[in-house]
Amino acid sequence: MVYLKLLLTAFLWGGTFVAGRFLAKDMSPFSAAFLRFAVASSCLLFIVWKTEGRLPLLRKNQIIPVILLGMSGIFTYNVFFFKGLKLIDAGRAALIISTNPILITLCSAYFFKERLTLIKSIGIAISVSGAMIVISRGNPLDMLNGHLGIGEAYIFASAISWVTYSLIGKAVLSGLSPLISVSYSSAVGAIALMIPALSEGMMHNIGQYSGLAWLSIFYLGIFGTAIGFIWYYQGIRAIGPTKAGLFINFVPISAIILAFLILDEPLTISLLIGAVFVSTGVYLTNAASYSKAVSVE
């Protein structure tokens, strides 16, 4: 059952790119991000309350880090996420985002002096090569000439936002459980997103959103965030972070398959080659010791 939940989690997270693509076409980025995390934080805070019997108070030295988590992993990540998905295919976006563990490994080596083994270094090189193939649509030399699409740039910026979120959590939030830190940072992000969402005219437009847009919001908030997070950390507790983390490799694959089936996105040679490279690189990088930083989409 644990392995099944982890596999389903990978498909739920793959589905977030499809739902995000639907939502990005129908809604402004701040409004989409706010509504997603209004739903997600409500679900997560309810789970915390049921699990803990209360909503635990943060210590003074935890308040600023939680705010930084909300601003990086929720606010900026999701704004760039929806801006990017308005412009590029869901499968391409998923492959760019899937380089998160590689970026986290590199930053951990630089900031926390974690050792880079030969296998990890090879994995990083393979994964970066795959990402370059995907981003450049099979012409990596175009990146050297500055031919990088704005949609790809937005998605890469969202990946950097998640790396920042992960490193902050790794550095300063060891005293908080993953459930509490994600729940509170989600609430902070939702609050921060409210004002720009209102300035976009969310309240004026809210009655005009399609049924598919609302379905996407609830999918992202409940299945893509709350349920996916709970199942993933149940897996970590049951089989450890190394084995559980390897299921993350299925996220871009599931996103590509779902985007092909639901959005009718093409399966190009560069996309498939990039998927193999990125997944192989992430596997090699994390096979020995999976990064403990949170890696949820």
pTM given for the model: 0.84
pLDDT exceeds cutoff 80 at 297 = no
Label residue 133 left, alpha or beta by phi (over 0 means left) and psi (-120 to 50 means alpha).
alpha
Cα gap 97→2, rounded to integer Å: 25
User: What pLDDT, on a 0 to 100 scale, did the predictor assign at position 144?
Assistant: 53
Instruction: Count the neighbouring beta carbons within 10 Å of the beta carbon of residue 229.
Output: 24
Alpha helices in the chain (DSSP H): 2-26, 29-52, 60-69, 77-85, 90-97, 100-111, 118-135, 141-144, 150-172, 178-199, 202-205, 211-218, 228-239, 241-246, 250-262, 269-286
- The owner of tokens 């550095």 is 171
pLDDT exceeds cutoff 50 at 291 = no
pLDDT exceeds cutoff 90 at 43 = yes
Where residue 279 falls among pLDDT bands split at 50, 70, 90? confident
Cα gap 228→275, rounded to integer Å: 22
Report CA torsion sign: 29, 33, 36, 39. negative
List pLDDT tens digits, range 145-193: 555 688 989 999 999 998 888 888 777 666 778 888 889 999 999 999 9
- Domain span holding position 110: 2-286
User: What pLDDT, on a 0 to 100 scale, did the predictor assign at position 269?
Assistant: 87
Cα gap 156→160, rounded to integer Å: 6
User: What pLDDT, on a 0 to 100 scale, did the predictor assign at position 92?
Assistant: 87
Residue, of 249 and 290, whose pLDDT is higher: 249
User: What pLDDT, on a 0 to 100 scale, did the predictor assign at position 241?
Assistant: 61
- Residue 56 in any domain: the answer is yes
Cα gap 86→241, rounded to integer Å: 33
pLDDT exceeds cutoff 90 at 35 = yes
pLDDT exceeds cutoff 80 at 137 = no
When pLDDT is averaged across residues 9-36 and rounded to a whole number, the result is 93
- Residue 272 in any domain: the answer is yes
- Residue 292 in any domain: the answer is no
- Residue 50 in any domain: the answer is yes
- Residue 295 in any domain: the answer is no
- ∠ CA 192-203-42, rounded to 5°: 50
In contact, 259 and 90? CB cutoff 8 Å = yes
The total domain count for the chain is 1
When pLDDT is averaged across residues 196-221 and rounded to a whole number, the result is 93
Mean pLDDT is highest, among 76-90, 105-119, 121-135, 174-188, for 76-90
List pLDDT tens digits, range 241-254: 666 666 777 888 88
- Residue 294 in any domain: the answer is no
- Residue 198 in any domain: the answer is yes
pLDDT exceeds cutoff 80 at 286 = no
What's the Cα-to-Cα distance from 189 to each of 25, 69, 95, 208, rounded to whole Å? 22, 8, 24, 24
Q: Among 296, 285, 182, which residue's Cα sits nearest to residue 242?
A: 285
Residue, of 117 and 34, whose pLDDT is higher: 34
SS3 78: helix
Buried b (16+ CB within 10 A) or exposed e, 44-77: bbebbeeeeeeeeebeeebeebbbbbbbbbbbbb
Cα gap 38→35, rounded to integer Å: 5
Mean pLDDT of the chain: 84
- Residue 89 in any domain: the answer is yes
